[in-house]
Amino acid sequence: MNKVKDIQHSSKSSSPLGKLEGASEINVSLIPILEKVSDPEIPVLSIMDMGVVRSAVIENNIVKVQITPTYSGCPAMDVIGDDIKAALKKAGYESEIDLILHPAWTTDWITPRGRKALEDYGIAAPLNAEADKDVLLNGKRLVKCTNCGSTNTRLVSQFGSTACKAQFQCDDCQEPFDYFKCLK
Amino acid sequence: MKQNLYNYILGIADNSLMLGQRLGELTGHGPSLETDIACTNISLDLFGQVRSYFQYAAKIAGDERTEDDIAMLRKERDYKNVLLVEQPNTNFAYTLGRQFLFDVYHLAFLKELQKSADLTLSAIANKCIKEVSYHERFSSDWVKRLGDGTEESKAKMQEAINDLWTYTDELFHQTEADKAMVEEGIGVDVTKLKEAYYKNVSDLLLESILEVPESKYFQKGGKQGIHTEHLGYLLSDLQYMQRTYPNMEW
């Protein structure tokens, strides 16, 4: 087995066990290939920055990749699996994709680079759990508009264009935008 | 084959399947764009959860059955969902009332299922619970809005709660599969969820300026496959393509 890189990005694992479970093994030589695969709903975001690849190792010349869904019903997962297979094939690897449910995906696994990609694309990145609750339930204005940067924004709908997002509108520049909900 | 575990999983999954189908009926028919999208997103979450359960059930069955067969090709009596989730979208208050009465149960149930000795069920519960927390927030929020809204919205919400109340007690009935699974540390003892459920539901209703129904007459039978007349119609929609064009895929 080649060198592995820990891509556990969560700085606030709730327990030592949680940290252990969340850790993933990614063969470094596969990273450039996997980084080119993006989320079909958010093309600017690589699946690596999304945190859905939980491990990728080479065993007997076959790449074994474990991915975890963001939401149970996320229709992007089948596509992501196919895209990974295709990308690896192009790089000369046969692969097996496994969908794992545990540990459950959390928005904490989106990397800082991933958060920036979301914002640049017009989707506000998730706030922490408490602030998230405040904006979704208590009408607080904390989400930063992806167009003008103002936090004078309000919730339009708890569910947006996909299950993982909520719909917001900026009351300064009037721009409507998606907010990626915190999932913990 | 582990028959009890198989039946147990189907019992859980059928609830999400039927509720997901009911919410899916609102695609393009929600009262506003936002609520339409919300209901169908919740439906999508539920179907995603159903897939996890049925994939696991198919593995346990260990024969030719696939997740799709389990979902699409059973007869009415073989579905073990509670009566509550098959009730129709009479109006938006019914849709939300049904959702609320189920979500409060669903959330409490998943919290317990996370502790299951069965690691797959525990992992599924752990995944679902995050999604269901959002469902519960959404439906509670709407019950409050309609209950504490206009005279008209309040009357409709109260009527929906009164009508649907009769289906709540069944949530806490144990089946044979339930009992066997509780004994093995795999299943959730639903009888223990009842008290907290009625307290949580009642608190929210009172907060919504609604009355807590006093009726002590409850319907049951779904868990045994004896359904209300609504399920047949729901299934004819759900199964139409597979019955008409067996094994079709797209």
Give long-range contacts, CB 8 A cutoff, 24+ apart: B210-219: B210/B143, B210/B147, B210/B154, B210/B157, B210/B158, B210/B161, B211/B158, B213/B161, B213/B162, B213/B165, B215/B162, B215/B165, B215/B166, B217/B166, B218/B166, B218/B167, B218/B168, B218/B169, B218/B170, B219/B83, B219/B166, B219/B167, B219/B170
pLDDT reported for residue A78: 86
CA distance A174 to A145: 9
Query: Is A24's pLDDT higher than 90?
Result: no
CA-based nearest residue in chain A for residue B139: A158
Model pTM?
Answer: 0.86
Radius of gyration of chain B (CA): 18
Delimit the domains of chain A by residue range: 4-109, 122-180
Query: Is B83's pLDDT higher than 70?
Result: yes
Are B127 and A158 a contacting pair at CB < 8 A?
no
Question: What mean pLDDT comes out for the span B27-50?
Answer: 92
Which residue of B41, B43, B121 is the best one to mutate when testing the A interface, meaning the one whose CB has the most A CBs within 10 A? B41
Question: What mean pLDDT comes out for the span B77-105?
Answer: 97
Residue in A72, A103, A167 nearest the CB of B128: A72
Which residue of A17, A138, A159, A184 is the best one to mutate when testing the B interface, meaning the one whose CB has the most B CBs within 10 A? A159
Residues of A in contact with B119 (CB under 8 A): 102
Question: What mean pLDDT comes out for the span B75-104?
Answer: 97
Residues of A in contact with B141 (CB under 8 A): 137, 158
* Contact between residue B65 and residue B152 where contact means Cβ atoms under 8 Å apart: no
CA distance A108 to A10: 5
SS3 for B98-159, per residue? HHHHHHHHHHHHHHHHCCCCCHHHHHHHHHHHHHHHHHHHHHHHHHHHHHCCCHHHHHHHHH
CA distance B84 to B231: 11
Query: Is A22's pLDDT higher than 60?
Result: no
Express each pLDDT in A67-81 by its tens digit.
998 888 888 888 999
Question: What mean pLDDT comes out for the span A6-22?
Answer: 35
Query: Is B1's pLDDT higher than 60?
Result: yes
pLDDT reported for residue B97: 98
pLDDT reported for residue A160: 83
Residues of B in contact with A137 (CB under 8 A): 137, 141
pLDDT reported for residue A49: 94
The beta-strand segments (E) located in chain B are none
CA distance B165 to B168: 5
Are B48 and A159 a contacting pair at CB < 8 A?
no
Lowest mean pLDDT among A86-95, A133-142, A144-153, B236-245: A133-142
State the CATH architecture for A4-109: 2-Layer Sandwich (3.30)
Shortest CA gap A80–chain B (Å):
16
> Please, is B229 exposed, middle or buried when counting C-beta atoms within 10 Å of its C-beta (0-12, 13-18, 19+)?
exposed
Question: What mean pLDDT comes out for the span B6-15?
Answer: 97
Residue in A71, A100, A156 nearest the CB of B34: A156
Residue (of B71, B86, B135) closest to B106 by Cα position = B135
Shortest CA gap B219–chain A (Å):
31
Question: What mean pLDDT comes out for the span A137-154?
Answer: 93
pLDDT band at A23 (very low <50, low <70, confident <90, very high): low
Are B48 and A71 a contacting pair at CB < 8 A?
yes
Domains of chain B: 3-244 (1.20.1260.10)
Query: Is A10's pLDDT higher than 90?
Result: no
Query: Is B66's pLDDT higher than 70?
Result: yes
Mean predicted lDDT score pLDDT of chain B = 95
Shortest CA gap A137–chain B (Å):
8
ipTM of predicted complex? 0.73
Express each pLDDT in A81-139 by its tens digit.
999 999 999 999 999 999 888 888 999 999 999 999 999 999 999 999 999 988 988 88
Is B249 at the interface with chain A, CB within 8 A? Answer: no
Query: Is B113's pLDDT higher than 50?
Result: yes
